[in-house]
Amino acid sequence: MAQADVDRELERIHEQLLKGPEKWMHHAADLTGDGHVLSSQSDRPISTSDRLTRLGGVIEIGPPTWVFDLAERTLSPQVPYQQSPLSYLDAYGPTWALWPEVNRLEWADGAFPSPELDFWFRNVTVGTTALVSIYVTAATTGGTGTLQVRSSAGTPVNFPFTGFTDLTLDVIVRPTDPYAVLVSLQPAGGVSYIGFTQVTYTTLPGV
């Protein structure tokens, strides 16, 4: 796809974003487990209780009412680097673009075949369990699209979706190297657009 075609696709997506997504989806998985994914789709934003229900089927996450308020690391397109604890994101592929007005890092299907977002969480504690939450909006080329999330401390997991969807991806990681946990996001087929807004890393107490 030529750059002009990529720009036109982004314009079309921006018009859709102003209208809002067609649906909302939540996926939860333990990247260090068997790769089983628990999912839910809704016609409205995913609630905290909905997320906790699926996370509870993946791992016992402790006090449910405040687990999403504990993030010690938060990265976004406008804040891609955090000094302490050291964390940062890398975007690979020439068709990523920053939409600063809404703090969104975007990729539209183009000539580069394998775009990737890498989230580096440095200086982690081996033996702990952490929740990594990734927030994206994505669109398919038609039919079902797939986003893949993998970790340096786990195995790749595929998260399917259809249409123009707002996705919350909650994944469990368990650091095996104090140097870092690397979590990566990339399209695995049928995806025409990714709009990344935020990722958080939360060490779960008592897990």
For 63, counting Cβ atoms within 10 Å of its Cβ (0-12 exposed, 13-18 middle, 19+ buried), the class is exposed
Residues of the chain with pLDDT under 70: 1-10, 12-20, 61-65, 110-113, 153
Confidence (pLDDT) at 5:
62
**Domain extents in the chain:** 3-203
Whether the CB-CB separation of 14 and 104 falls below 8 Å is answered with no
Domain boundaries 3-203, corresponding CATH code:
2.60.120.260
Of 70, 53, 40, which is closest to residue 131 (Cα–Cα)? Answer: 70
148: which residues sit within 8 A by CB, 6+ positions away?
Answer: 156, 157, 158, 159, 185, 186, 187, 188
| 37-91 pLDDT per residue, tens | 999 999 999 998 889 889 988 887 665 667 888 899 999 999 999 999 999 999 9
Q: What is the CA radius of gyration of the chain?
A: 16
State the pLDDT at residue 6.
Answer: 61
pLDDT value of position 141: 74
